[in-house]
């Protein structure tokens, strides 16, 4: 099994997930800045040209970091801890819901702000600064929703650590790194983020 990847929040989500499950696999670097992900060879692995992509030993490729994590959990030996995608139908739905809320309300807006304001991929996409500013204004507002939820439960989707916590933690670290948002100070979110940073998996590289 090989993970084709480039340094990004999405690769980090998979690294943390694997660390939590006690898994490792070979990693293959993809040169995104050089456009390797847009080559015919890479597009045969992942038609959207995105990374990471997981290559299975039989040559099957799985794209989308969340889908990769779903597969990894399905083949991982049990750690004894609750599953990171949930154990029963209700937990699975609630974890999926919070994970999607982080993606659609925060991570996507953050990415919109980052790409349109900095022009990091302007050699291959049209950037609209005015749109980047809209995204940069909207993204921090979503954090209030997570702060409220974290005032009610220890982890984002309830009493157990889950993929939703990984997505939110990685997104906040990325926001703090690229500095395109004005990040608010929120009490519950800070308490929770300190807990996340104390997990060995969050230092996984």
Binding site for a second copy (CB under 8 A): 47-48, 60, 62-64, 66-68, 70-71, 73-75, 88-90, 92-94, 96-97, 100-101, 104-105, 108, 125-126, 128, 130-131, 134, 137, 142, 145, 148-149
Which of helix, strand or coil describes residue 101? helix
Q: Based on CB atoms, which residue is closest to a second copy, 74 or 194?
A: 74
Q: What is the DSSP string of 21-49?
A: HT---EEEE--TTTTGGGSHHHHHH-TT-
Q: Based on CB atoms, which residue is closest to a second copy, 48 or 197?
A: 48
Q: Based on CB atoms, which residue is closest to a second copy, 44 or 200?
A: 44
* Gap between the Cα atoms of 86 and 76, Å rounded: 14
CB of 198 to a second copy, least distance (A): 27
Cα–Cα nearest to 166, from 70, 80, 25, 53 = 70
Q: Based on CB atoms, which residue is closest to a second copy, 163 or 202?
A: 163
Which H helix or E strand runs over 4? strand 2-5
Which of helix, strand or coil describes residue 5? strand
CB of 141 to a second copy, least distance (A): 10
CB of 203 to a second copy, least distance (A): 27
């Amino acid at each position: 099994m090989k993970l084709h990847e480039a340094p990004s929040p999405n690769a980090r989500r998979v690294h943390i997930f694997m660390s939590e499950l006690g898994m490792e696999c070979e990693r293959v670097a993809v040169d995104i800045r050089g456009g390797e992900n847009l080559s015919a060879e890479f597009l045969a692995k992942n038609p959207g040209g995105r990374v990471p992509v997981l290559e299975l030993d039989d040559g099957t490729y799985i794209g989308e970091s969340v889908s990769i994590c779903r597969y990894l959990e399905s083949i991982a030996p049990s750690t004894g801890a609750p599953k990171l995608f949930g154990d029963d139908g209700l937990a699975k739905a609630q974890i999926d819901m919070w994970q999607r809320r982080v993606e659609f309300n925060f991570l996507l807006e953050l990415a919109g702000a980052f790409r349109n304001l900095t022009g990091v991929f302007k050699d291959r996409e049209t950037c609209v600064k005015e749109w980047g500013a809209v995204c940069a204004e909207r993204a921090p507002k979503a954090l209030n929703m997570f702060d409220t939820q974290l005032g009610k439960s220890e982890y984002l989707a309830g009493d157990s650590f889950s993929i939703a916590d990984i997505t939110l933690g990685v997104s906040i670290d990325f926001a703090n790194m690229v500095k395109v948002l004005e990040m608010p100070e929120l009490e519950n979110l800070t308490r929770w983020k300190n807990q996340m940073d104390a997990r060995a998996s969050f230092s996984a590289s």
